Structure 1
Amino acid sequence: MAVRKQYQVNINHTLCKKCGICYWICPTKTITKGELGRPQIIDQKTCIGCLMCENACP
């Protein structure tokens, strides 16, 4: 049985522009729009480590 690797999503709210790209592009919807328009992690376990959020972030 293969062990699934865990990924850790970290959001730097100091640098965040609240543009929403990260939660719109996330294929597993691990990131969602949170309080005051800031991205929020729903469940770390759903992250597949694709880095789409990181690569799209301005």
Structure 2
Amino acid sequence: MKQFALLYPRSLIEASPDPLLTICSEGKIMDVTKATANITGLTYDEIIYSDFLEYFLNR
């Protein structure tokens, strides 16, 4: 039952067709949905812990 309690909220988030992500206070991407990976063309592992602002700033 405990594992279900942990997986259920994640399954609700993944059910959304919208790209969703969480960002920590340092600006690092901490989690993404499959829709985010599909839209960006990047893998989950490529996105996780990357700098959110790097996707929007031309440096």
Select the structure of larger CA radius of gyration: 2
Question: Larger relative contact order (C-alpha < 8 A, sep ≥ 6)?
Answer: 1
TM-score by length of 2: 0.23
- More helix per residue: 1 or 2? 2
TM-score by length of 1: 0.24
